[in-house]
C-alpha cells in the first residue's frame, strides 16, 4: 500500500479538510479529504409535572421539537410518541424518554410518579320515608364517605347545585342526586362519587278474602296508597312479592304489607269463611267433630246436617263443638253428608249455602 502522512491532526469537534502527502519514492499524488462533524441537538429539559394523579391527561414537551417519546411502563402511563400526550393509568413510578435521532442521536429521560386517587364510595339504595297521607318527609338518611377529614376535603352538590356542607357525611331530608368531590390533602388528587336518595312510604291497602266457602279461596291485597315497593307476608310465613295468597282454608289470617325500603309494615286481620271437608271421629283429638268457625257472625242460622238420602240427622250451631258423627247415639257410616245454612255474604246479602263433607273412619 501507499504510505504517507495526514495533516492537520484529526479534530472531531469541527468540520475539517485533511491532506494526504505520500512518502517520497512512491508513485502517488497528494489527496484531500473533508470530514464533516455534525453537532448534536442539545436536550436540556423535559417540561411537565413531577407528579400526576391517576386518570390525569397532560402534554409533556422538551426544549427541542422533532423527536419522539416513550414510556418505561405502559401499565403505569402511556405517552403518544409524536405529541407527548401522557395518560396516567395506575400508581407507580415511570420513566419518560425523549430522543431526537437526526443529525445525531440525542436522548433525555425523566422519572415521574403517578399517584392513586382517593377511594370513595357512597351508600346506594337510600330512601327517605314519607307520610303516606301528607307526603311529608318523616325520616332522615345519612350519606357518608367513611373517610377522615384529617386526610381529605369534601365538596357536595345536590342535583348539580353546590351545598355549603364540607364534612365527610350529610344528613339528608331532601330527595335527589348527591355528589361529593373528595380531595387528598397531601397529593391534591380528587375523586367523585354519587348516589341518589329516593322516597318511599308505608302502604295503605285493602285486604279481601275470595268467595265464601270457595274450594280455591284466595286472599288478595290491593295497595291503594303509599309510594313504596311492597312485599307480603301471611301469618308470619315466607315473604313474597305477589299480593295474592292461595290455598286458603277456613280460619283467621294476619296479612302484613312491608315496604322493601325500610319505611315500615302495616298489618290487617281477615277471616276466611269456609267449612271442613271431612270429619274423622276416631277419638284421636284431631277432626273428631264437624262444625264451622264463624267469629264474624256471618252465619245467620243453625247448620242442618243430612245423610245422603236427605234425612235430617242433627243441627249444629256455628262456633259450637259440632257434630260427633253419630245419630241417636249410633256411629254413622263412612260416606258423604250434606249440610245447609244461611249466611250474610261480604256484600251484606243473606245467602243460602249447601255442600257436603266426608265422614272417614
Say which residue, 44 or 191, is predicted with more confidence.
191
Kindly tell me the burial class for residue 231, based on how many C-beta atoms sit within 10 Å of its own C-beta (0-12, 13-18, 19 or more).
middle
Q: What is the per-residue pLDDT for 230?
A: 97
Does residue 220 carry a pLDDT above 80?
yes
Here the cell at position 129 is 320515608
Question: Per residue in 30-58, pLDDT tens?
Answer: 999 998 877 777 888 999 999 999 999 99
Phi then psi for 55, rounded to 5 degrees? 70, 0
| Strand 106-115 with 51-53, pairing | parallel
Nearest to 212 by CA among 31, 56, 347: 347
pLDDT in tens, 74-87: 999 999 999 999 99
pLDDT of residue 341: 93
- pLDDT tens, position by position, 3-30: 999 999 998 888 899 999 999 888 889 9
- The reported pLDDT for the residue numbered 103 is 74
Pair 316, 303: CB distance under 8 Å: yes
Rounded average pLDDT over 57-62: 96
Q: What is the mean pLDDT of the chain?
A: 94
Closest CA relative to residue 356, chosen from 250, 275, 273: 275
SS3 per residue for the chain: CCCEEEECCCCCCCCEEEEEEECCCCCCCCEEEEECCCCCCCCCCEECCCEEECCCEEECEECCCCCEEEECCCCCEEECCCCCEEEECCCEEEEEEEEECCCCCEEEEEEEEEECCCCCCCCCCEEEEECCCCCCECCCEEEECCCCCCCEEEEEEECCEECCCCCCEEEECCCEEEEEEEEECCCCCEEEEEEEEEEEECCEEEEEECCCCCCCCCEEEEEEECCCCEEEEECCCCEECCCEECCCCCEEEEEEEEECCCCCEEEEEEEECCCCCEECCCCCCCCCCECCCCCCCCECCCEEEECCCCCEEEEECCCCCCECCEECCEECCCCEEEEEEEEECCCCCEEEEEEEEEECC
Reported as a pLDDT band with limits 50, 70 and 90, residue 246 is very high
Give the model's pLDDT for residue 172.
Answer: 96
Summarize the confidence of residues 269-274 as an average pLDDT. Answer: 92
Q: Which pLDDT does position 295 carry in this prediction? A: 84
Per-residue pLDDT, 36? 85
- pLDDT classification of 226: cutoffs 50, 70, 90: very high
What per-residue confidence (pLDDT) applies to 233?
98
Residues 230-244: pLDDT tens digits? Answer: 999 999 899 999 999
- With beta carbons less than 8 A apart as the criterion, state whether 356 and 339 touch: yes
The string of pLDDT tens digits covering residues 121-143 is 999 989 999 999 899 999 999 99
Cα 157 versus chain centre, distance: 22
Rounded CA separation 224/315 (Å):
43
**What are the tens digits of pLDDT across the range 332-343?**
999 999 999 999
Q: What is the predicted pLDDT for the residue at 304?
A: 96
Domains and CATH numbers, the chain: 4-35 (no CATH), 47-115 (2.60.40.1080), 126-199 (2.60.40.10), 204-272 (2.60.40.1080), 278-359 (2.60.40)
> If you search the block for the grid coordinates 318511599, which residue do you land on?
200
pLDDT at residue 146 is higher than 90: yes
Place of cell 415521574: 112
pLDDT at 107: 93
103 prior amide bond cis, ω within 30: yes
Amino acid at each position: 500500500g501507499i504510505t504517507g502522512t495526514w495533516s492537520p491532526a484529526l479534530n472531531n469537534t469541527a468540520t475539517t479538510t485533511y491532506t494526504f502527502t505520500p512518502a517520497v519514492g512512491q508513485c502517488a499524488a497528494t489527496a484531500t479529504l473533508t470530514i464533516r462533524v455534525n453537532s448534536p441537538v442539545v436536550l436540556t429539559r423535559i417540561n411537565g409535572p413531577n407528579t400526576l394523579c391517576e386518570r390525569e391527561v397532560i402534554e409533556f414537551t422538551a426544549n427541542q421539537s422533532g423527536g419522539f417519546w416513550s414510556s418505561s411502563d405502559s401499565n403505569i402511563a402511556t405517552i403518544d410518541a409524536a405529541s407527548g400526550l401522557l395518560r396516567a393509568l395506575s400508581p407507580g413510578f415511570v420513566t419518560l424518554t425523549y430522543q431526537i435521532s437526526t443529525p445525531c442521536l440525542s436522548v433525555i429521560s425523566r422519572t415521574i410518579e403517578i399517584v392513586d386517587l382517593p377511594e370513595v364510595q357512597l351508600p346506594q339504595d337510600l330512601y327517605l320515608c314519607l307520610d303516606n297521607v301528607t307526603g311529608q318527609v318523616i325520616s332522615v338518611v345519612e350519606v357518608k364517605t367513611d373517610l377522615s377529614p384529617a386526610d381529605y376535603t369534601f365538596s357536595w352538590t345536590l342535583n348539580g347545585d353546590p351545598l355549603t356542607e364540607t364534612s365527610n357525611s350529610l344528613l339528608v331530608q331532601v330527595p335527589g342526586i348527591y355528589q361529593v368531590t373528595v380531595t387528598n390533602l397531601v397529593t391534591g388528587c380528587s375523586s367523585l362519587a354519587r348516589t341518589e336518595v329516593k322516597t318511599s312510604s308505608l302502604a295503605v291497602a285493602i285486604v279481601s278474602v275470595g268467595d265464601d266457602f270457595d274450594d280455591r279461596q284466595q286472599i288478595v291485597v290491593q295497595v291503594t296508597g303509599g309510594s313504596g315497593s311492597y312485599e307480603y307476608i301471611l301469618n308470619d310465613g315466607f315473604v313474597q312479592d305477589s299480593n295474592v295468597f292461595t290455598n286458603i282454608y277456613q280460619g283467621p289470617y294476619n296479612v302484613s304489607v312491608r315496604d322493601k325500603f325500610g319505611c315500615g309494615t302495616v298489618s290487617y286481620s281477615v277471616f276466611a269463611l269456609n267449612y271442613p271437608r271431612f270429619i274423622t271421629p276416631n277419638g284421636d283429638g284431631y277432626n273428631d267433630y264437624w262444625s264451622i268457625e264463624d267469629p264474624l257472625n256471618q252465619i245467620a242460622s243453625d247448620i242442618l246436617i243430612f245423610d245422603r238420602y236427605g234425612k235430617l240427622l242433627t243441627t249444629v250451631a256455628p262456633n259450637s263443638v259440632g257434630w260427633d258423627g253419630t245419630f241417636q247415639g249410633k256411629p254413622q257410616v263412612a260416606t258423604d253428608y250434606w249440610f245447609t245454612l244461611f249466611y250474610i255474604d261480604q256484600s251484606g246479602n243473606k245467602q243460602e249455602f249447601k255442600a257436603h263433607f266426608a265422614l272417614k273412619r
